[in-house]
Amino acid sequence: MIRLEAIYWLMGLMVGGVAIVNALDSRSHTRWRNTIFWGVYAVIFLLGTRLGDFTNGVLVLLMVATASFGLSSSTRESATAEHRIFSAERWGNRLFVPVLVVPVATFLGSLLLGRVSIGGTPLVDPKQVTQIALGVATVLALLTALVMLRPPIHAPIVEARRLMDSVGWAAVLPQSLAALGVLFASAGVGKIIATLATTYLPLGTPTAAVAAYAVGMALFTIIMGNAFAAFPVMTAGIGLPLVVQQYHGDVVIVTAIGMLSGFCGTLMTPMAANFNIVPAALLELRDRYGVIKAQVPTALMLLAVNIALLTYFAYPR
Amino acid sequence: MLPLIGILIVIVGFALRLNALLVVTLAGLATGLASGQSLHDVIAAFGHAFVESRYVAIVWLVLPVIGVVERSGLKERAREVIGRIRAATAGRVLLVYLALRQITAALGLVSLGGHAQMVRPLVAPMAEGAADNAHGPLAESTRERIKAMAAGADNVGVFFGEDVFVAIGSILLIRGFLEQNGILVEPLHLARWAIPTAIAAFVIHGTRLLLLDRRLRRESATAAADMEDALETSETFRQGSATT
C-alpha cells in the first residue's frame, strides 16, 4: 500500500537535492546557511517519523535559527532571456502540457486511486488519497517535461533550488503555524478568547449577537490563521448559546455563514501563511504583506455582506 | 490569561516585520511554557506537530516541473498567448480565473488551482502580459499590484467556492461539531447557505479586478504625462543653457 510516507521520501530527496546544489554554489554568500536549512528539512522528511519528538523539535529549532541569520536566493537565472524567448517560440502552447498534467492527474488520481485494490489491500492509503495523487501527479508531470523538453539532467534539481530558495523560510512557515496551533490548543488559548469575547463584545440584541458572532469569527481567525480553529470556539461561545438558543436563530444559516465570516479573516492575516505569505514569496513580491493588502477591501466588504445576510435570514420572521 | 502571551508575541513580531518563522516559534515556546509545561515537553510538542503537518509541504513537489518549464520559456509563452487576445486586460484575465476557480471549487475540484501550480507559472504572467500589452512597460509597483491581485483571485475563488460543495472539510467540520452538540443538519442545507456569500464574493472581488484596469489606465496616463513633462523640462533646460 502506498502511504503518505512514500511522498515524504520524495520530498526529502528533492529538498536534499536543493541542499546539495546550495552546497556546491561557491558564489552564494549564504552558502552554508542555505545548505543547513534545506539539509535539516530533508532529514525531517526522510527520518522524521523515526526520530523522537524531541529530536525533531531540536532540528526545527536549528532550522529556525539558521533562517533567522538570513538565507538568500540565487540571483542567477539558469537560462538567458534570449534562450527562453527562442524556446517559447519553438515549443508554443505545448509548453503548457507538463504544467496542466499536475491538476488533471491530481484530480483523476484522487477519483481513481482510492478505488484500486490489489488482493484486497487498497493500492493507496484511503485517508490520504488527494495528497498521494498530488505527489504522483508531480512525478508524471516532471517525466512529461523531461521527455518533451530534454533539458540537461541536473535541470530539475537546479530549477527546484532556484524556486525553493526564492520562497526561502516561508516554505516551512505553514508547518510551524500548524505546530503553534497545537500549542495554543493545549494551552487553552481558545477558551480564554471565548470568555473574553462573551465578556466584552456587545451581545444585547439579536442583531448585535449575530454581528458579534461574525466579527468574532473573523477576528479569532486572524489570530489563529485558520477558520477551522476559530469555529468550534466561537460557535460554542456565542453562536449556539446566544444566537441559536437565546434568540432562536436558524442553526444551519448561522453556522454556514459563520464559517464564511471566518474565511474573511483568513484573507487578512499573515497567520494563514500558505494563502498569504507563501504566495508573496512565490511571486517574489517585495512587500511580504502585499497579498494581504490586496485582499483586505474584499474581505471587509464580504464580512459586511455576511453580517447583513445573518441579520436578515437567521431569525424567524 | 498567561497563555495569551503567544498571541502578543505574534502581533508584535509581525508588526515589527521580524522573521516570521522566528516569531511563530518563539510564540509557540512561550505559550507552552506559560501553560506550565517543561521546555523539553514544549520542544517535543513543537517537533511532533511540525512532523505531523508535513503534508502541507507536498505542494512544493511541483517546483521542479515549473522550474524546468519556466527555463524553456513558460512565462514568456503565457504572456505571448494573452498578448494576442486584443480584448484581454489584466483585470479581465484575473476575472476569468476567479470565475473558473470558484466554479471548479464549487464542484469539488479544489486541486485544479493553487499558487505554486497555477498562479506563478500561468495566471500572474498572463495578467502581467495583458497589462504590458495595453499600457506598455509597467512600473515595478504596478507589477507587484497585479501579482498580488492574482494571488488574491485564487484565494477568494477557492474560499468562497468550495463551501458550495457538500463534501468539503469545512462543511464536514460544521456538521461534526453540531452533531457533538446534539444537533443534526444536512450538509446540503449548509452548502446551500454558502451560495449567497459565494455570489457576493464574485461580485465584490470581480468589481475590484475590473477597477484594477481603470487604475492601470490612469497610472499609465500619468506616467506618460510625466514623461512628456520631463522631456519638455530638459528641452527648456537645454535651450536655456544654449542662450546663456
Q: What pLDDT score was predicted for residue A76? A: 65
Sign of CA dihedral B109, B71, A37, B30: negative
The alpha carbon of residue A145 is apart from the nearest alpha carbon of chain B, in Å, by 7
* Top-ranked range on mean pLDDT: pick from A123-137, A220-234, B219-233: A220-234
Report the pLDDT value the prediction gives residue B240, as an integer from 0 to 100: 54
What is the percent of chain A where pLDDT is above 70? 99
Among B34, B148, B189, the residue with its CB nearest the CB of A285 is: B148
Asked if A134 contacts A41 with a C-beta cutoff of 8 angstroms, the reply is no
Q: How far apart are CA B59 and CA B65, in angstroms?
A: 12
- Chain A CB contacts of B152 under 8 Å are 267, 291, 294-295, 298
Closest of A19, A45, A15 to residue A30, by C-alpha? A19
Give every residue of chain B whose pLDDT is below 50, as ranges: 242-244
HEC readout, chain B:
CHHHHHHHHHHHHHHCCCCHHHHHHHHHHHHHHHCCCCHHHHHHHHHHHHHHCHHHHHHHHHHHHHHHHHHCCHHHHHHHHHHHCCCCCHHHHHHHHHHHHHHHHHCCCHHHCCHHHHHHHHHHHHHHHHHHHHHCCCCHHHHHHHHHHHHHHHHHHHHHHHCCCCCCHHHHHHHHHHHHCCCCCCHHHHHHCCHHHHHHHHHHHHHHHHHHHHHHHHHHHHHHHHHHHHHHHHHHHHHHHHHC
pLDDT at A214 over 80: yes
pLDDT at B237 (0 to 100): 58
Q: Considering only residues A55 and A82, tell me which one the structure prediction assigns the higher pLDDT.
A: A55
Q: Is A273 exposed, middle or buried (0-12, 13-18, 19+ CB in 10 A)?
A: buried
CB atoms within 10 A of CB A44: 26
Q: What pLDDT does B244 receive?
A: 47
What's the mean pLDDT in A279-294? 93
Say yes or no for a CB contact (<8 Å) between B160 and A263: yes
Most trustworthy range by pLDDT among A152-156, A169-173, B104-108, B203-207: B203-207
Dig out the grid coordinates for A153 from the structure.
539532467
A124-133, A170-179, B14-23: which has the minimum mean pLDDT? Answer: A124-133
The whole-number average pLDDT for the span A125-144 is 87
| B90 close to B146: Cβ distance less than 8 angstroms | yes
CB B125 within 8 A of CB B75: yes
Q: What angle separates helix B124-135 from helix B140-162, to the nearest 10 degrees?
A: 140
Q: Cell for A225?
A: 490563521
pLDDT value of residue A29: 82
Distance CA A94, CA A149 (A): 10
Q: Which of B29, B33, B77 to mutate to test the interface with A (most CBs of A within 10 A)?
A: B77
- List CB contacts (< 8 A) between B174 and chain A: 231, 255-256, 259
Q: How far apart are CA B205 and CA B208, in angstroms?
A: 5
> Is the CB of B44 less than 8 angstroms away from the CB of A291?
no
Confidence class of residue A35 from pLDDT cuts 50, 70 and 90? very high
Chain A nearest-CA residue for B164: A256
**ipTM computed for the complex:** 0.89
Nearest to B40 among A54, A92, A251 (CB): A54
b/e per residue, A49-79, with b = 16+ CB within 10 A?
A: eebebbbbbbbbbebbebbbeebebbeeebb
CA-wise closest residue to B198 among B230, B163, B167:
B163
Q: Residue A6 — pLDDT band, cuts 50, 70, 90?
A: confident
Global confidence as pTM? 0.89
Alpha carbons within 13 angstroms on the beta-carbon side of residue A94 total: 12
Distance from CA of B121 to the nearest CA of A (A): 8
The pLDDT of residue B234 is: 65
Write down the mean pLDDT value for chain A.
89
Angle between helices B140-162 and B195-243 (to 10 degrees): 180
Res A308 pLDDT > 90: yes
Q: Which of A172, A192, A306 sits opposite B4 (nearest CB)?
A: A192
Residues of A in contact with B7 (CB under 8 A): 189, 223
Q: What is the amino acid identity at position A248? A: H
Q: How many other CB atoms sit within 10 Å of the CB of residue B69? A: 28
- Give the number of other CB atoms < 10 A from CB of residue B226: 10
* Grid cell digits, residue B121: 507559472
Task: Tell me what pLDDT residue A75 has.
Answer: 63
Q: Which residue has the cell 529556525?
A: A64
- What residues of chain A lie within 8 A of the CB of B64, using their CB? 14, 138, 142, 156-157, 159-160
**Model confidence at A155, in pLDDT bands (50, 70, 90)?**
confident
Residue A269, φ and ψ in degrees, nearest 5: -130, 135
